[in-house]
Amino acid sequence: MSEVTRLLTAIERGESHAPEELLPLVYDELRRLAAQKLAQEKPGQTLQATALVHEAWLRLLREEDRTWNDPQHFFCAAATAMRRILIDNARRKNSPKHGGDLARVTLDGVALAQGLTGDALIAVDEALERLAAEDVPAAKLVELRFFAGLGHQEAARIMGLTRREADGLWAYARAWLFEALRTDFGANERAKSP
């Protein structure tokens, strides 16, 4: 990881060769994260792991503030980029032009970390934004687990948390999101009723 850290610093300084040298070092890990997330998606997903990695890479390099303190910070930024790509893709597919108004997904009986698409995925993203306004670490843990497909221990390690801290944060975040989503979907269903 010291080579990754050196190259992240070189990118921050604007050295043009650094991104070319960094990509081969982080590509396998990024591809693994993307494949894990996409494996949770429903059949018919048109986005492939390679495309998700490449789009996330391009977004990371286009950012104005490309200051990544260490490899963990970089992978958190990559998880955020993947999240935004998946949300953009879900919003596009959910638009009336793409048949988004033909089928709705409900959260009844669905565990938070299972593959969601359409309205449900957008609702989770919006709830996650509200959670981030209250508790950034809780939102980041959900993002790493839900959108990047990391396991609990991997996400805790990346965030620098002990297993116990991560357990407490995960329990809080799940409860918060469950209540937020229950409230959101309940209000939407009441609004649709004649």
Which has the closest alpha carbon to 55: 77, 81, 22, 33?
A: 81
Per-residue pLDDT tens for 98-134?
444 444 443 333 344 455 667 777 888 889 999 999 9
> Mean pLDDT throughout 23-29?
90
Instruction: Return d(Cα 31, Cα 14) in angstroms, integer.
Output: 25
Residue 86's pLDDT band (boundaries 50, 70, 90)?
A: confident
CB atoms within 10 A of CB 123: 19
**pLDDT for 45:** 64
- Asked whether 77 and 8 are in contact (CB, 8 A), the reply is no
Domain that holds residue 186: 2-192
Q: Is the pTM of this model over 0.75?
A: no
Instruction: Return d(Cα 153, Cα 168) in angstroms, integer.
Output: 13
Question: Structural domain tally of the chain?
Answer: 1
Look at the chain and count its residues.
Answer: 194
Task: Extract long-range pairs of 113-116: CB within 8 Å, 24+ residues apart.
Answer: 113/40, 113/145, 113/146, 114/40, 115/40, 115/41, 115/42
pLDDT at 88 over 60: yes
Residues 6+ apart with CB under 8 A from 158: 72, 75, 76, 144, 150
